Amino acid sequence: MYLPQELIRRKRDGYTLSDDEITFLVSGISSGRLVDSQVAALAMAIYFKDMSVQECTALTTAMLNSGERLNWQEFSLPGPIVDKHSTGGLGDMVSLVLAPIIAACGGYVPMVSGRGLGHTGGTIDKLESIAGYNVNPNRSQFQNLVKEIGLAIVAPSSDIAPADKRLYAIRDITATVDSLALVCSSILSKKLSEGLNSLVMDIKVGSGAFMPSQEQCERLARRMVAVATQAGCKTSAILTDMNQPLAPSCGNSLEVMEAMDYLTGQNKSSRLHQVVMALSEMLLVDSKLVDNAEQARLKISRVLDSGEAAERFNRMVAALGGPRNLLEQGKSHFPKAPVIAPLLAESSGYLTHLDCREIGMSVVALGGGRIQSDQMIDHRVGLSRWRQIGDYIHENEPLVMIHANDQSSWQKAARRLHGAISLEGEPGEIPSVVYQQIVS
């Protein structure tokens, strides 16, 4: 038996905790044996002193074991169980297209996703813009859908990593959310509960990212790859740009419609496509569904061109209570915002900079995200047809379309967005989309 305060003191003083000591602390977080002040002190000690890869692995495993994890043995799946995670951004509907692509290529994707956090959008909020879509099936339904269709995208249950749920709530009010070790363990304890063979991580870099600094993001990516691999899941990561929205649409139903356009071949945003391809190639190679990146590219192109990936998405939506003809009827299933109008450029020039975080907060202010955790979302509102950095824009030309509830909301968003956009006489540097790959 250990004394919690003694373990907290040791971590505060920079000592390395053993696996057993970390397991004891996590058990105390789950059971309530550690009071809130002790959990807060532990979080602050970890924030300042960090953790080794081994400590992070022990923390991840202990939080994972505090709840239930999926077991796939009885399902005898003929392919690998795989998933993808993103640290969040704007116009990032990669999950909606990657999961059906991988399923059509022979993988099985039990994707447990989250809601929007701060200025970033959430996959579950996006899917809830589809009428009837049930993000909370029971475990049996979820696993059977993965077996039958190859994928299911759902919300996390309360049984997954309950220790992390309590720890995160305390981190949120003690300024310790952005601890490298705690971010890593929080994400991975939930993802590894899916019973994965392989995982790819999309770590966003830039003004719209959770961690704007590329150096910070690289450290996080390397830590997560090392910890997940040590915990038994083959993991790789890429660093991708979030200095502008990944795709031209930001907002829940708008992003679902863009994902549908991508899957059906009606429109493929270049930036979105580059990230989807990089992650999908990496996941197919890591899970041994193909031998190399060239084979991966050919396979991905085949399932997109044939419509097989789109069909997987359609089947998943129907199986979870959504429309059976979503792809056929397309955008008619989604109600439009009452006010849709372009934001016009006030002068001519090259688009050189976008404050991505401010853009995200403008979507939140329109009603497309949450200021309070229990807030209802308006799935209709958002932004579409974004111009890209490097574009030359003439005065009175549209910069973006604003989808709002009313004229007053539209005007407030317009003022905010004008402050987030920079037009200059000379073109600036156009950011790369994929910065770096990190493999185990």
DSSP code string of 22-87: HHHHHHHHHHT-S-HHHHHHHHHHHHHH---HHHHHHHHHHHHHTS-----GGG--SS-BEEEEE-
CATH domain 73-160+175-180+191-329 topology: Pyrimidine Nucleoside Phosphorylase; Chain A, domain 2 (3.40.1030)
**Is 117 a residue whose pLDDT tops 80?**
no
**Is 318 a residue whose pLDDT tops 90?**
yes
**How far is it, in rounded angstroms, from Cα 154 to Cα 320?**
9
CATH domain 336-424 topology: Aldehyde Oxidoreductase; domain 3 (3.90.1170)
**Is 235 a residue whose pLDDT tops 90?**
yes
- What tens digit of pLDDT does each residue of 401-433 get? 999 999 999 999 999 999 999 999 999 888 899
- Confidence class of residue 124 from pLDDT cuts 50, 70 and 90? very high
Distance set, CA 277 to CA 171, 197, 264 (Å): 35, 20, 16
Q: What is the mean pLDDT of residues 193-200?
A: 97
- pTM across the whole model: 0.94
Range(s) for CATH 1.20.970.10 in the chain? 4-49
- Confidence class of residue 440 from pLDDT cuts 50, 70 and 90? confident
Task: Return the closest-CA partner of residue 204 out of 193, 194, 214.
Answer: 214
- What tens digit of pLDDT does each residue of 358-381 get? 999 999 999 998 776 677 889 999
**Is 118 a residue whose pLDDT tops 80?**
no
Range(s) for CATH 3.40.1030.10 in the chain? 73-160+175-180+191-329
3-state secondary structure of 182: helix
Distance set, CA 144 to CA 109, 287, 404 (Å): 12, 21, 39
Range(s) for CATH 3.90.1170.30 in the chain? 336-424
CATH class for the region spanning 4-49: mainly alpha
User: For position 120, what pLDDT does the model report?
Assistant: 77
**Is 248 a residue whose pLDDT tops 90?**
yes
Structure tokens at 143: 């696993």
Alpha-carbon dihedral of residues 128, 259, 338, 355, nearest 10 degrees? 100
Residues designated catalytic = 83-86, 123, 171, 186, 190-191
| DSSP state, residue 17 | P
**Is 280 a residue whose pLDDT tops 90?**
yes
Q: How high does pLDDT run on average in the chain?
A: 94
- What tens digit of pLDDT does each residue of 46-62 get? 999 999 999 999 999 99
User: For position 327, what pLDDT does the model report?
Assistant: 85
- Confidence class of residue 354 from pLDDT cuts 50, 70 and 90? very high
User: For position 88, what pLDDT does the model report?
Assistant: 86
**Is 333 a residue whose pLDDT tops 90?**
no
Parallel/antiparallel/unpaired status of strands 82-86 and 339-344: unpaired
User: For position 246, what pLDDT does the model report?
Assistant: 95
**Is 106 a residue whose pLDDT tops 70?**
yes
User: For position 373, what pLDDT does the model report?
Assistant: 65
Where b means 16+ CB within 10 Å and e means fewer, 156-177 reads beeebbebbbbbbebbeeeebb
